[in-house]
């Protein structure tokens, strides 16, 4: 038991430590988008499916001893691929959708080792079932050990591995762990050879398919598809929650790992012999959590942040506990163990593919997230008494009634100005869930009622509060162009996720005025003054286009270049019906498509006088744009007296000490200005707060800023270390709201 448990644990630890490590290797080449992790997850799920298919084929075609020989030979094949790394010289497409190139590259670098490691858990359980150990009849106990190893790997990565080792060191350590796994599997094989059951009648693994299945009843196709659906929904939800977290904070392993860790923890709990969270309790708690999520989604709540994050994660956890609990209740005998894992893996792959590949093509907004939640509600175990006493057609009549009620409330309640705010809130977001909740014992009715409420309520809420001009979705996220009316003035806004990325006053007299983070009242006006004052080259580069607001600072005779990774942003910013900054302020500016850092590397040395980094993914700053390697590249492209400006405004991450440490290590100067106190009239005119950093090789290049008390030197915190492409620790600068 010790040897098999250790082998299963190590294989699971390797399986789930390589995922954040390899995805982090990819981020600098793919703009730091949250979709990088989702795409990686789909690939890893596909490799897991391939591994389980191989394990199932072995278990049904070969007897135990021959399985061990074949598997040990295959395990030695990836040794020549170690340490894990990206193919030398691999660069994704500079524009368009990079998913095909990414999926084509991953099998060459990480696919074979990952697939073979993934085969270990089901095969080792089958081998254990073939021994004469007293617990051989219940090999599922090893599945709990496997998921525990996976969970610990994910938890240790952001808190233990990432802060202490560079990526190159992590890859080397992973290679050592792989060699250890090969040794443990060899030990398990030896035990199978020495302690295989002597009685053919008692041996669940015999030569030939029929003997491998033994006397177990063949699995009906309906039961298999139920396994697929029960595995598919939590997988889809996991990617939905991950996108929600990493879009507004950062595409970092810490936030990838939390949902995946909870996902695996539910497997540990439901497959353990004595779970502290009984299935009946999870079934009762889940409907209430989903109801609260419906309120948050239909009301478009974004505060308080910590409470909302907790609600998303708790709802996700309870949903996984219910779906995986249903799987655990329906698991087959050990003879059909590999088939069970195979069909569960099919469901996991389908859920991942739906979110990462299909949904961006089908939906303009993130419909897949609430859709998976609603589908999960239909999978709740039904109450037999309710089924006997209720008419089936009401399962479809009630959702229609709920939809009509929500429609009526949203169309009438806002038109009653004398109605108190609390009463309006109760009618819009209190009445529908109160009606839906009692149907929780009828899963189909409950899920359809929730769907009618959430989707109709979400669409109407959008109409009530703002006018959406266009919605576009790409690999890098969802962009919304909105019309906003404030005190008789009309603005157009570019929103990505929950973050504003540009705003323009549509009054022709004010269309050339930069707003939001770029206003002339804020730090950017001073940065441009500092750049002009010292005779730097008259050329400006900006990483991140947004709505093109910064173009308003262009002066006659200057050469401007915008570096933008997403063609969708260029299409929206250059459409004069939405924004006219480019057309009116910087008509001669070049827009270079591709990752800003990779494209900038092609520029001549010392070419620019001012370089501005304003690249966001919703509220997340791509980490690879603020490392020492990145700053060294920026400085190499700046001429004498050149200035580097970085927009580090963020609700959750404090990048000031990161830049302070980098500046100190390079012998440069870094100044920070926090523009927080915005007068009410300026706020109504479109000015928002921001935090900007200005960096230069010497103090004389930012002399004006040094003399302004609003600008402070960037703090230095040695404990954070100096961030590089090979090392960063985002958890250390996280500040919960």
CA 172 to chain centre: 26
Conformation bin of residue 679: beta by default, left when phi > 0, alpha when psi is -120 to 50 = beta
Helix-, strand-, coil-residue percentages of the chain, each rounded to 5:
60, 10, 30
Residue with tokens 């395990």: 75
Note whether 514 and 613 are same-domain residues: yes
Average pLDDT, the chain: 82
**pLDDT-based confidence at 495, cuts 50/70/90?**
confident
Note whether 359 and 388 are same-domain residues: no
Note whether 373 and 389 are same-domain residues: no
Pairing of strands 559-564, 590-593: parallel
Find out whether 316 and 262 touch, Cβ atoms under 8 Å: yes
Give residue-wise pLDDT tens across range 88-145.
777 766 555 677 878 888 887 888 888 888 888 778 877 787 777 776 666 666 767 7
pLDDT of residue 216: 57
Note whether 438 and 391 are same-domain residues: yes
Final residue belonging to a domain, choices 350, 378, 406: 378
Distance in angstroms (rounded) separating the CA atoms of residues 74 and 81: 13
- Residue 26 within any structural domain of the chain: yes
- Residue 624 within any structural domain of the chain: yes
Note whether 722 and 644 are same-domain residues: yes
pLDDT beyond 70 at 151: yes
Note whether 704 and 638 are same-domain residues: yes
Helix (H) or strand (E) holding 275: none
Note whether 553 and 406 are same-domain residues: no
Give residue-wise pLDDT tens across range 665-687.
999 999 999 988 888 888 888 88
220 DSSP 8-state letter: P
**Among 20-24, 413-417, 643-647, 691-695, whose mean pLDDT is lowest?**
413-417
Please provide residue 474's backbone torsions phi and psi, each rounded to the nearest 5 degrees: -140, -175
Pick 197 or 203 by higher pLDDT: 197
Note whether 426 and 535 are same-domain residues: no
Helix (H) or strand (E) holding 473: strand 467-474
Note whether 389 and 518 are same-domain residues: no
Mean pLDDT of 346-353: 87
Residue ranges in 566-722 assigned as alpha helix (H) = 567-573, 581-585, 596-600, 628-637, 656-666, 680-684, 703-706
**3-class state of residue 350 by DSSP:** helix
Residue ranges in 62-139 assigned as alpha helix (H) = 64-76, 99-106, 112-129
Residue with tokens 């990206």: 86
State the maximum Cα–Cα separation within the chain, in Å, rounded to a whole number.
91
**pLDDT-based confidence at 207, cuts 50/70/90?**
very low
Mean pLDDT of 637-662: 89
**Structure tokens, 633:** 């590249």
Final residue belonging to a domain, choices 465, 497, 519: 465
Find out whether 542 and 643 touch, Cβ atoms under 8 Å: no
- Residue 717 within any structural domain of the chain: yes
Mean pLDDT of 302-327: 86
Helix (H) or strand (E) holding 560: strand 559-564
In angstroms, the Cα distances linking 8 to 144, 335, 500, 645, 686 are 10, 19, 47, 50, 57
Distance in angstroms (rounded) separating the CA atoms of residues 286 and 379: 11
Q: How many other C-beta atoms lie within 10 A of the C-beta of residue 512? A: 14
Greatest mean pLDDT among 10-24, 208-222, 280-294 lies in: 280-294
Distance in angstroms (rounded) separating the CA atoms of residues 468 and 662: 41
Pick 552 or 119 by higher pLDDT: 552
Helix (H) or strand (E) holding 619: none
- Residue 342 within any structural domain of the chain: yes
Mean pLDDT of 431-441: 88
Strand order in the sheet with 690-696: 590-593, 559-564, 539-543, 608-613, 638-647, 690-696, 669-675, 711-713
Helix 443-465 and helix 368-378: axis angle, to 10°? 160
- Residue 38 within any structural domain of the chain: yes
Final residue belonging to a domain, choices 378, 413, 440: 378
pLDDT of residue 623: 76
- Residue 498 within any structural domain of the chain: no
Distance in angstroms (rounded) separating the CA atoms of residues 529 and 716: 26
Domain containing residue 262: CATH number: 1.20.1250.20
pLDDT of residue 252: 55
Bridge partner residues of 712 (DSSP): 672
Distance in angstroms (rounded) separating the CA atoms of residues 558 and 538: 5
Find out whether 447 and 538 touch, Cβ atoms under 8 Å: no
Note whether 373 and 391 are same-domain residues: no
Please provide residue 612's backbone torsions phi and psi, each rounded to the nearest 5 degrees: -115, 130
- Residue 215 within any structural domain of the chain: no
Mean pLDDT of 149-174: 85
Note whether 262 and 395 are same-domain residues: no
Percent residues over pLDDT 90 in the chain: 25
Taking Cα atoms as reference points, which of 150, 120, 177, 181 lies closest to residue 20?
150
CA 423 to chain centre: 37
Give residue-wise pLDDT tens across range 358-412.
887 787 777 888 899 999 999 888 877 665 566 778 888 888 998 898 888 888 8
**3-class state of residue 133 by DSSP:** coil
Separation of first and last alpha carbons in the chain: 46
Please provide residue 635's backbone torsions phi and psi, each rounded to the nearest 5 degrees: -65, -35
pLDDT of residue 385: 66
Percent residues over pLDDT 70 in the chain: 88
Distance in angstroms (rounded) separating the CA atoms of residues 102 and 202: 47
CA angle 375–380–385, rounded 5-degree value: 135
pLDDT of residue 711: 93
pLDDT beyond 90 at 634: yes
pLDDT of residue 94: 57
- Residue 550 within any structural domain of the chain: yes
Taking Cα atoms as reference points, which of 696, 703, 698, 678 lies closest to residue 688?
678
Find out whether 528 and 610 touch, Cβ atoms under 8 Å: yes
Find out whether 694 and 643 touch, Cβ atoms under 8 Å: yes
Distance in angstroms (rounded) separating the CA atoms of residues 198 and 407: 69
Domain containing residue 554: CATH number: 3.40.50.150
pLDDT beyond 60 at 253: no
How many structural domains are present in the chain?
3
Taking Cα atoms as reference points, which of 259, 347, 360 lies closest to residue 35?
360
Mean pLDDT of 489-502: 84
In angstroms, the Cα distances linking 170 to 76, 102, 437, 479 are 20, 21, 48, 36
What is the Rg, in whole angstroms, of the alpha carbon atoms belonging to the chain?
A: 28
- Domain of residue 435 covers 384-465
Note whether 542 and 673 are same-domain residues: yes
**Among 63-72, 249-258, 556-565, 708-717, whose mean pLDDT is lowest?**
249-258
């Amino acid at each position: 038991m010790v040897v098999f448990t250790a082998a299963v644990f190590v294989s699971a630890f390797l399986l789930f430590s390589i995922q954040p490590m390899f995805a982090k290797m990819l981020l600098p080449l793919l703009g730091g988008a949250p979709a990088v992790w989702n795409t990686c997850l789909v690939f890893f799920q596909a490799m897991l499916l391939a591994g389980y298919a191989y394990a199932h084929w072995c278990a049904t075609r070969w007897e135990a001893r021959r399985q061990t020989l074949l598997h040990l030979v295959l395990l030695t094949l990836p040794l020549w691929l170690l340490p894990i790394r990206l193919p030398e010289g691999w660069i994704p497409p500079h524009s368009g959708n990079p998913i095909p190139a990414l999926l084509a590259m991953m099998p060459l670098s990480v696919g074979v080792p990952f697939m073979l490691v993934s085969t270990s858990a089901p095969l080792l359980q089958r081998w254990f079932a073939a021994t004469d150990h007293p617990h051989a009849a219940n090999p599922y106990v090893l599945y709990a050990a496997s998921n525990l190893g996976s969970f610990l790997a994910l938890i240790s990565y952001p808190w233990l591995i990432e802060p202490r080792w560079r990526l190159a060191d992590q890859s080397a350590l992973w290679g050592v762990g792989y060699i250890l796994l090969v040794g443990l599997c060899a030990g398990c094989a030896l035990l199978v050879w020495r302690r295989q059951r002597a009685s053919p009648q008692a041996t669940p693994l015999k030569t030939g398919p029929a003997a491998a299945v033994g006397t177990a009843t063949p699995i009906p196709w309906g039961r298999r598809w139920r396994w697929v659906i029960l595995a598919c929904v939590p997988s889809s939800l996991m990617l939905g929650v991950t996108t929600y977290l990493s879009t507004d904070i950062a595409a970092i392993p810490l936030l990838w790992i939390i949902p995946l860790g909870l996902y695996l923890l539910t497997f540990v709990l439901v497959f353990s012999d004595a779970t502290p969270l009984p299935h009946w309790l999870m079934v009762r708690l889940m409907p209430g959590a989903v109801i609260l999520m419906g309120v948050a989604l239909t009301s478009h709540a974004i505060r308080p942040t910590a409470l909302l994050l907790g609600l998303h994660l708790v709802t996700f956890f309870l949903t996984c506990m219910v779906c995986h609990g249903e799987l655990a209740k329906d698991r087959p005998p050990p003879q059909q163990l590999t088939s069970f894992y195979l069909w569960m893996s099919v469901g996991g792959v389908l859920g991942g593919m739906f979110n990462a590949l299909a949904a961006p093509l089908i939906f303009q907004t993130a419909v897949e997230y609430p859709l998976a939640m609603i589908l999960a509600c239909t999978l709740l175990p039904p109450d037999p008494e309710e089924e006997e006493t209720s008419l089936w057609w009401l399962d479809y009549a009630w959702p229609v009634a709920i939809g009509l009620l929500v429609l009526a409330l949203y169309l009438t309640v806002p038109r009653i100005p004398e109605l108190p705010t609390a009463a309006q809130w109760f009618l819009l977001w209190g009445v529908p869930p109160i009606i839906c909740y009692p149907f929780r014992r009828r899963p189909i009715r409950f899920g359809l009622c929730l769907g009618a409420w959430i989707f109709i309520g979400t669409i109407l809420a959008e109409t009530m509060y703002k006018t959406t001009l266009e919605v576009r979705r790409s690999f890098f996220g969802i962009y919304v162009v909105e019309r906003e009316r404030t005190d008789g003035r009309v603005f157009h806004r570019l929103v990505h996720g929950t973050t504003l990325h540009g705003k323009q006053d549509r009054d022709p007299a004010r269309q050339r005025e930069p707003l939001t983070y770029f206003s002339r009242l804020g730090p950017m006006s001073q940065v441009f003054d500092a750049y002009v004052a010292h005779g730097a080259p008259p050329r400006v580069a900006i990483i991140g286009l947004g709505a093109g607001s910064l173009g308003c600072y262009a002066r006659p005779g200057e050469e401007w270049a915008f570096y933008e990774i997403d063609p969708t942003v260029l299409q929206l910013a250059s459409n004069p019906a939405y924004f006219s900054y480019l057309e009116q302020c910087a008509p001669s500016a070049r827009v270079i498509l591709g990752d800003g850092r990779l494209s900038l590397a092609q520029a001549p040395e010392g070419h620019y006088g001012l370089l501005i980094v304003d690249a966001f993914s919703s509220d997340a700053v791509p980490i690879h744009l603020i490392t020492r390697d990145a700053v060294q590249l920026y400085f190499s492209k700046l001429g004498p007296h050149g200035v580097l400006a970085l927009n580090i405004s963020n609700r959750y991450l404090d990048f000031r000490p990161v830049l302070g440490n980098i500046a100190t290590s390079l012998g440069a100067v870094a100044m920070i200005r926090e523009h927080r106190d915005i007068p009410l009239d300026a706020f109504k005119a479109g000015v928002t707060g921001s935090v900007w950093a200005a960096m230069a090789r010497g103090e004389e290049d930012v002399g004006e800023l040094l003399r302004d008390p609003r600008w402070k030197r960037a703090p230095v915190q040695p404990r954070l270390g100096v961030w590089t492409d090979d090392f960063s620790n985002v958890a250390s600068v996280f500040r919960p709201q």
